[in-house]
Structure formats: C-alpha cells, structure tokens
Amino acid sequence: TKSVVHPGNHAEVFQNGTLLAELAKHIKAAKETIHLEVFVWDKGTVERKFAELFCFKAQQGVKVRLLLD
C-alpha cells in the first residue's frame, strides 16, 4: 500500500479477533483522551461493552471522542 510508519509511531497486525481485547486494554489505560474512528458499528453485545467502557472513562474525566458509521 506504500504506507509509511513515521518515526515515533508503530503498526501492529491483529488476527483472529485479537484486536478487540487489545483495543479494550488501551481504552482502560487511557488517562487524558480517547479518539476512535470506526467504519462499521452495529448494535450488539461487543458494541454495548465498548459503549459502557467509553462512558466509564468519560466519568473518570477522560475526553472521549468517537466517530462511528
């Protein structure tokens, strides 16, 4: 794809559903802000758990910004 990883950034490949657990880990660790853009967001158990986690972090004073499609 000719994408470039700029100095100070990194990229990881997630397979077989490991992305969601890793994403939740990083959301739980957030101290100041959470910015997330998701192309596919549906009503379901997984989405509900993430919505609850975002609300919890917002109640802790973390600025949560979501762009969902």
> pLDDT digits over 4-38, tens only?
778 888 888 888 878 899 999 999 999 999 999 98
Give me the count of residues in the chain: 69
Alpha-carbon distance 67 to 9, whole Å?
22
pTM (whole model) above 0.85:
no
- Residue 14 CA: distances (Å) to CA of 3, 6, 60: 17, 20, 29
Which of 33, 66, 32, 69 is CA-nearest to residue 50?
66
- Residue 24 CA: distances (Å) to CA of 3, 20, 28, 37: 26, 6, 6, 14
The residue behind tokens 């997630």 is 14
Is residue 50 over pLDDT 90?
Answer: yes
